[in-house]
Amino acid sequence: NSTLQLPVLFDHDGGVDDFLSLLLLLTMPQVELLGVSITPADCYPEAALETTSKLLHLLGQPQVPVSVGQYYGINAFPSAWRAQPRMLNAFPGLLALPPLAEGRADLRPSPEVLCAQLSAASQPVTVLLTGPCSTLVQALALEPRLASRIGHVVWMGGAVDVPGNVRTYNQNGTAEWNVFWDPLAAQQLLTYELPLTLIPLDVTNQVPVNMAFLRQLAAQAGQPLSHLAGQFWATTVATIPTYEYTYFMWDVLATSYLAIPEAFEVETLELAVVATGAQAGRTLRQPGSGHWVQVAKHVDTAAFYTYLLQQFGPV
Ligand code: AGV
Ligand code: CA
């Protein structure tokens, strides 16, 4: 039924929850995935390309085009985080899959590919971003008129009324990483006045990866997707000292917004992004900025976790 189809372009940055987002997206019957692009931010792009291709293959959508960004942001992610997803390709369920076929990835830089995909789209496209927004901003810089092809941008990024999650020497703790990687792009994104929904730390803080959920997932591990997703989440459990950080369902929550928006409380507000200095990457309320953004502030966590168990569980 074509009226049910939601055309989606997905740009991710290769974190474990970015891949869980891809898995989730591929379980959504209403989503027509037009393309995937990889921003080399919270990943090393070679490994991320391999995982992306293998998951598309595994979920029966190997034809979906994949491209990789060649732009590297202003503030690099820690190497230990970028290397983490490499182990996913060694999982029994993925190791045996065919490696990326020669010539399968689009060799053009991802902003060019995104432009081509937007031009070719026959109805407004939803752009889902689970990493920095640089690819989209660079695409719109190439062809500003393509903004009219975008029906909705859903972006996991920012921290509006809560502290950020960047702990470095050059940031005072107010920024979220996806914005911090390329603060100028985030500032630029607002100027396009796109229908933008942010899924910031304000709401992702409400959905930690917790053992109660992982136990429920394990209880249905006879389902191949639950088994695989459970393994993915398991890799995040011991990677962060618990006294310092918790791993959250950041991108997975943003992805679920496409399917269960009614589970979210969203506030429409005027936003600004700080581009330089100790607050670089900060997203803040700024009445009068003229940049109206929908910001998710609350989620029905039970509805969200139930939705995940349903999508990864019995069909
Ligand atoms: O800031 C959240 C973003 C999400 O897109 N990423 C992880 C998610 O993919 C960066 C990030 C923050 N803390 C992290 C992150 C951590 N402890 N490990 C890996 N990535
Ligand atoms: Ca991410």
What integer is the mean pLDDT of 257-262?
A: 98
Question: What pLDDT does residue 241 have?
Answer: 53
Query: Where is pLDDT greater, at 195 or 99?
Result: 195
Q: Are 52 and 89 in contact (CB under 8 A)?
A: no
Probe residue for ligand 1, chosen from 250, 253, 257, 282 as the CB with the greatest number of ligand atoms within 8 Å: 250
Question: What pLDDT does residue 217 have?
Answer: 97
Model confidence at 33: pLDDT above 80: yes
What integer is the mean pLDDT of 186-213?
A: 96
Model confidence at 103: pLDDT above 50: yes
Question: What pLDDT does residue 3 have?
Answer: 57
What integer is the mean pLDDT of 18-46?
A: 97
Question: What pLDDT does residue 120 have?
Answer: 97
Q: Any residues with Cβ below 6 Å from ligand 1, and which?
A: 15, 17-18, 42, 81, 130-131, 156, 165, 176-178, 240, 245, 250-251
Nearest CA to ligand 1 atom 7: 15
Beta strands in 142-182 (DSSP E): 150-156
**pLDDT one-digit tens code per residue, 214-246:** 999 999 999 999 999 999 999 888 765 554 557
Q: Any idea what the Cα angle at residue 67 is, between residues 260 and 255, rounded to 5°?
A: 10
**3-class SS at 180?**
helix
Measure 74 CA to ligand 1 centroid, in angstroms. Answer: 16
What integer is the mean pLDDT of 269-298?
A: 98
For residues 88, 54, 70, 232, the Cα torsion angle rounded to the nearest 10 degrees is -30
How many other C-beta atoms can be found within 10 angstroms of the C-beta atom of residue 196?
Answer: 23
Band (pLDDT 50/70/90 cuts) for residue 159 is very high
Beta-bridge partners for 150: 125
Nearest-angstrom CA–CA distance, 26 and 36: 12
Band (pLDDT 50/70/90 cuts) for residue 84 is confident
Percentage above 70 pLDDT, the chain:
95
Strand pairing category for 150-156 and 125-129: parallel
Question: What pLDDT does residue 314 have?
Answer: 75
Question: What pLDDT does residue 255 have?
Answer: 99
The DSSP annotation for 28-57 comes to -TTEEEEEEEE-SSSS-HHHHHHHHHHHHH
Question: What pLDDT does residue 286 have?
Answer: 98
Where helices occur in the chain by DSSP H, the ranges are 16-26, 45-58, 79-83, 92-95, 110-120, 134-142, 177-180, 183-191, 201-204, 211-219, 224-237, 250-256, 301-312
Probe residue for ligand 1, chosen from 18, 19, 77, 81 as the CB with the greatest number of ligand atoms within 8 Å: 81
Percentage above 90 pLDDT, the chain:
87
pTM above 0.80, yes or no: yes
What integer is the mean pLDDT of 127-136?
A: 98
Measure 249 CA to ligand 1 centroid, in angstroms. Answer: 9
Band (pLDDT 50/70/90 cuts) for residue 1 is very low
Band (pLDDT 50/70/90 cuts) for residue 105 is confident
Which DSSP state fits 12?
A: E
Nearest-angstrom CA–CA distance, 64 and 56: 7
Q: Which atom of ligand 1 is nearest to the CA of 245?
A: 17
Q: Are 156 and 38 in contact (CB under 8 A)?
A: no
Mean pLDDT (the chain, rounded): 94
Q: Are 149 and 121 in contact (CB under 8 A)?
A: yes
Question: What pLDDT does residue 250 have?
Answer: 98
H or E, element range at 64: none
Measure 1 CA to ligand 1 centroid, in angstroms. Answer: 36
SS3 string of 65-106?
Answer: CEEECCCCCCCCCCHHHHHHHHHHHHCHHHHCCCCCCCCCCE
- Within 8 A by CB and 6+ apart from 307, the residues are 256, 259, 260, 263
Query: Where is pLDDT greater, at 84 or 38?
Result: 38
CB contact burial 174-184 (16+ within 10 A = b; e otherwise): bbbbbbbbbbb
Question: What pLDDT does residue 224 have?
Answer: 96
